[in-house]
Amino acid sequence: MSEEEKRAGEQEPAIEASQTPPEQARAEAPAAEPAASEEKPASAPAEGEAPVRRKETDEEKAARRKAALEAREAAKAAAALAAAKPSAAAAPSTGTEAAETAEAAPPPPPSPNQPRLDRAVQLLRELVAEDAVEEAAINELNDDLPTLVVKNERWLEAAKLFRSHQELNTNYLRNVSGVDQETHMEVVYHLLSMDSGHVYAVKVRTDRERPSVPSVTPVWQTANWNEREIYDLLGIDFPGHPDLRRIMMPDDWVGHPLRKDYVPLDSEV
């Protein structure tokens, strides 16, 4: 045997010893798998499987719902606070600033009719009686109409003054109306000067149980039918009227239909 053959024969066992037979490898693999599986936690799912979700208890569900509700409420409160900030910034932050703003605003200009109202009050108090005028004001909602409340007992004298005085000279009575104020009755006269165009409104109050206002038909003939209508529908008496009787309702009608306590005999009417 040559030297090369001897060396080749010595190397073959070494190669065989370094290689593991396939049968031996397959036999050793199952033995290694149990050992590896023992090292994993018992609760861990196998590879490739979905994890098993633990079922919530009733207490956990309630706590989760409560937390979600609190989060929504907090979000609403934050939104409301953010919306309120611009308004708060625009409005005065203190009472002092509000007062300063009010003081800075200029007062409204006086009505151009205020001097005429003041003069009418002066004339009535000087020429009729000191207590002739109970109230006086400018009605801004009615074109700055000078409006006076004349005492009932002084009304006839005041009417004559309005009609005849050269400064007032209200030679035309445009309208007369009656009002049931529930606490009292009121008659309103709208006076006009045909010469100057000046207008006045005069109110005369009377008791509701026995309403009575002196007639001014002797002063202004246009008051005649107006006073009759007020008598007919509200029951206000006008002493001094030349022909005070019903003008709309039948003479035998019971009650006065425009009074707020009026009860119709026939509820269907």
What number of other Cβ atoms are within 10 A of residue 65's Cβ? Answer: 10
Q: How far apart are CA 76 and CA 175, in angstroms?
A: 60
Q: What is the pLDDT of residue 171?
A: 98
Q: What is the pLDDT of residue 85?
A: 65
- Tens digit of pLDDT for each residue in 64-78? 778 887 888 888 888
Tokens describing residue 100: 């300063």
Say if residues 77 and 84 touch (Cβ distance below 8 Å).
Answer: no
> Domain locations in the chain?
114-234
Instruction: Pick out the chain residues at pLDDT < 70.
Output: 1-54, 85-103, 266-269
Q: What is the pLDDT of residue 57?
A: 82
Average pLDDT, the chain: 82
- Tens digit of pLDDT for each residue in 172-210? 999 999 999 999 999 999 999 999 999 999 999 999 999
In degrees rounded to 5, what are phi and psi of residue 25? -65, -40
Q: What is the pLDDT of residue 37?
A: 45
CATH topology of domain 114-234: Beta Polymerase; domain 2 (3.30.460)
Q: What is the pLDDT of residue 27?
A: 44
Q: What is the pLDDT of residue 103?
A: 66
Closest C-alpha to 171, from 191, 148, 145, 188: 191
Q: How far apart are CA 263 and CA 265, in angstroms?
A: 6
